[in-house]
Structure formats: structure tokens, C-alpha cells
Amino acid sequence: MLPYDGRDVELISVAAVAENGVIGRDGDLPWPSIPADRDQYRERIADYPVILGRETFEAMRDDLPGTAQIVLSRSEREYDVDSAHHAAGVDDAVGTAEALGASRTYVIGGGGIYALFQPYVDRMVLSRIPGEYEGDTSFPEWNAGEWNLVNAVDYEEFTLEEWVRGSD
């Protein structure tokens, strides 16, 4: 499926990103909630495992996304949630997704997790939020020359972009 690295699972980053690259402030979104974005995000990831950091996992505990949560953490190894799996790094997370039989897995944050997985993701689905916001977490920089914009859909409060790694 992905000949350049031999993986059997497609990795897709999903994030809402302001014009200045900000994605979060104090563990939350820095802009008012956008229900249409939240709904498309939740629907997209509902039937697949997600990869996320421990802090993001803890912040979402009351409404965990995806069919399984692959939690990257250097310290915590066990969670009192049946669908949560610990991973020590990228290879471990991908191996867990493959063991779960997933054809795709969504990388959903936080900032450090996006940066760690950026060299490995096959696709990015980015909700582009108009405006610049103050925040403490940003989406990682990436080389646009390594990516192709394959779809962009304008919504009232954001634009949803889909990027695929590779050149024309």
C-alpha cells in the first residue's frame, strides 16, 4: 500500500490550524468552537484508531475519539480505558495500529506528536481557520514542495484542505 516504507497502515494528520500556525492554547482551541469543523473531524476519525499524546488523551477523556487511542507517553504505560494502548514511539504506534487491523490511523495531536509524526504521515487534513490567534501550541512547519493539495472545500467559518505527500 505504501511502498516507500513498507507500512500497511496509512498515517493521516488531522488538525485545525490558524493562519499563524497556532493550534492550541492552554490545552484548548484558541478560537470559539466551530460546530461544522468539530462534526466533520469527529465523523472522519470515528471508525479508525487515533494516535495522540498523553496530555491530549487526558484532555479528551470524557469523549474519546476513534475506535482505539494509541497514546504516546514516556512515562504512563497503562490507562483505565479499554480502548487505550500505550506506545513508546512512532514504530510502536504504527505497530499497534497494524496489530489492530487498521488500514488508516489518524494523528490528532498535540503539537509534539504532530511534529514527531510529520516525516511519516501520508496525508494531512487541515481545517484552515481564518485569523491569527495567540497560543502555546503550533502545527509543525512542512515543506510544501513535498505535498500536493488534492482537495479544498470552503465552509462558512473555515476551509478544509486535504494534502497528499508526493510530487506530481
d(CA 58, CA 93) in angstroms, rounded, equals 18
Confidence of residue 3 (pLDDT cuts 50, 70, 90): very low
**By mean pLDDT, which of 1-10, 18-27, 69-78, 91-100 is the weakest?**
1-10
Model confidence over 106-157: pLDDT tens digits?
Answer: 999 999 999 999 999 999 999 999 999 999 999 999 998 999 999 999 999 9
pLDDT tens digit sequence for 16-48: 999 999 999 998 899 999 999 999 999 999 999
Break the chain into its structural domains and give their ranges.
10-165
- Closest-CA residue to 19 (of 130, 126, 109): 130
Confidence of residue 77 (pLDDT cuts 50, 70, 90): confident
3-state secondary structure of 161: strand
Beta bridge partners of 72: 53, 87
The model's pTM: 0.92
CATH of domain 10-165: 3.40.430.10
